[in-house]
Amino acid sequence: MMLSESLKKNRDFKNVYDKGKSYANKYLVMYILKNELNRNRIGISVSKKVGNSVVRHRVQRLIRESYRLNETMFQNGLDIVVIARVGIKDKNYNEVSSAVLHLGKIHKIVR
């Protein structure tokens, strides 16, 4: 059951950056903002500093997948923006996944 959709519009990202709360760990920064919907919208940002397009897409897939598989643990009605940091580029799925959950717990949005 797919509850989430992607944040795609630049203004949606900006809105989350401006009004949301952020926490970071070694590999990721996570911004959270309540939305008026009954579902989460997730946006992922990976800058060129992280690596070439192959590396960036891999990182993006790992983040998206770790969110997707743990989606049921997250509260609903949130816009979530996840920003990858340079240190993430050589990490495997388990490391990325635990980083995502770690930030979710700091934000108190993971049950």
- pLDDT tens-digit readout, 75-101: 999 999 999 999 999 999 999 999 999
Tokens standing for residue 81: 């923006």
pLDDT of residue 4: 79
CA nearest 29: which of 109, 108, 106? Answer: 106
- Pull the structure tokens for residue 100: 């995502």
Cα angle 41-57-63, degrees, rounded to a multiple of 5: 45
Helices assigned H by DSSP within 1-111: 10-19, 53-69, 93-106
**Bridge-partner residues for 80, per DSSP?**
32, 42
Flag whether pLDDT at 44 surpasses 70.
yes
Q: Could you count the other beta carbons within 10 Å of the beta carbon of residue 2?
A: 7
Inform me whether the pLDDT recorded for 1 exceeds 80: no
Number of neighbouring beta carbons within 10 Å of residue 52: 9
List residues bridging with 81 in a β-sheet: 31, 43
Positive/negative CA dihedral, 103, 38, 68, 81: negative
